[in-house]
Amino acid sequence: MPVETVQIDTLVVGAGQAGVAMSEHLSRQGVPHLVLERNRIAEAWRTARWDSLVANGPAWHDRFPGLEFEGLAPDAFAAKDQVADYFEAYASKFNAPIRTGVEVKSVQRNSARPGFTVETSEGRIEALHVVVATGPFQRPVIPPIATQMAGVTQIHSAEYRNPQQLSEGAVLVVGAGSSGVQIADELQRAGKQVYLSVGAHDRPPRAYRKRDFCWWLGVLGEWDAEAVQPGKEHVTIAVSGARGGHTVDFRRLAHDGITLVGLTQSFDAGVVRFESNLAENIARGDENYLALLDAADAYIARNGLDLPLEPQARELLPDPHCLTQPILELDLVAAGVSTVIWATGYSVDYSWLQVDALDANGKPRHQRGVSSEPGVYFVGLPWLSRRGSAFIWGVWHDARHIADHIAKQRTYLAYRDAGERQCERDSQPSKNNSLMGVR
């Protein structure tokens, strides 16, 4: 028996933090919509990260307005399952029209009529607007040299769960952003010998003079920056909320037993080669760290704040041996390395989005989430509108802008169709909205 097509004004694809925020703002605007999620709400927080992951920002900061984390102190860092539970509770708070277990297979623009045809695992949907809320972490990125590393276990950080899953032997962690640093630290504390490949990075203080770095970047206006500073396009952020939150200090990691190496360059005949830029990368990270301390001190003085001095924050540990005499080549067998963990980030996957909304590299063309393809929107991406777009609260504000844009577009469509509305009602059969009670 054929399944009738569901019609809806706006379809939101994905029910992570971006999809939930989008649904809230669409509801407030009175926009009929449906959110489809192929798994569960905030599934990536539950099953696509390591066991001990916590949010990188404190609970007072990494949340949506109007709902605090239950049973969590404002300065605490929510565990990954607490974050997932939070978004489920938030969606329930306003009865978000979310349908889980439904995968979107394709989105195509209609010809000779408005909107898009969306094929899903449970039937077809016609939508005037489509919001892509699938986030930036769709496809793990592993460098091409990985294909040459036969005989050693390789996993992406997306597959890492805990130290117990790894075989005996040392571990090479490639990538020293938040994920790579936290995984390397956890493995070293579990008794593993760890090599950590460090590239260009920014390592803000976890807290300084009784204020978290999230607070500092807020009052200093850093979250509102609209573009990446030239030269920092590939700079990762090394920050950690683990163990109650602490500043990532690569010298401290080395003194604790982790061997730091430079950016991973190549692999041949069992030997990994690293660039000779480790000291430079560490020095630039220190410069960024100290610059934020300077900016914070100036802000305190300018505003007459009574915050305690913290001179010890400027004290750097001595350079470890691995920094003064860097390893440029590592024979994996001789070093006893049995596992390589690629903490090398993710790329997007829009293979299902078959509309003219992507550039030649498969990345969205948009302005503040409003796509170059009319009717298509993106939310939940880093730098969507500002630096803060990567954080939970930033996603919420970006979603509000997009909902406002959709609501405005609906007023244009309503005006254009006003004279034809009665004719359309007389000529169109009723449609089945059985996929979900849509409002």
Domain ranges of the chain: 6-138+348-427, 141-342
Which of the residue ranges 225-229, 348-352, 416-420 would you say has the lowest mean pLDDT? Answer: 416-420
Q: Indicate the pLDDT class of residue 1, thresholds 50, 70 and 90.
A: very low
Q: Which residues pair with 195 in a beta bridge?
A: 172, 259
- Rounded to the nearest integer, the mean pLDDT of the chain is 94
Handedness of CA 276, 282, 285, 286 (dihedral sign): negative
Q: What is the pLDDT of residue 268?
A: 94
Q: What is the pLDDT of residue 227?
A: 86
141-342 CATH: 3.50.50.60
Instruction: Judge whether 402 and 389 are in contact, CB under 8 Å.
Output: no
Distance from C-alpha of 110 to C-alpha of 299, rounded to nearest angstrom: 54
Give the number of other CB atoms < 10 A from CB of residue 283: 12
Q: Is the pLDDT of residue 438 over 70?
A: no
Question: Do the domains at 6-138+348-427 and 141-342 have one common CATH topology?
Answer: yes
Handedness of CA 223, 229, 234, 235 (dihedral sign): negative
Q: What is the pTM of this model?
A: 0.92
Burial classification of residue 220, based on how many CB atoms lie within 10 Å of its CB (0-12 exposed, 13-18 middle, 19 or more buried): middle
Give the type of residue at 239: V
| Assigned architecture for domain 6-138+348-427 | 3-Layer(bba) Sandwich (3.50)
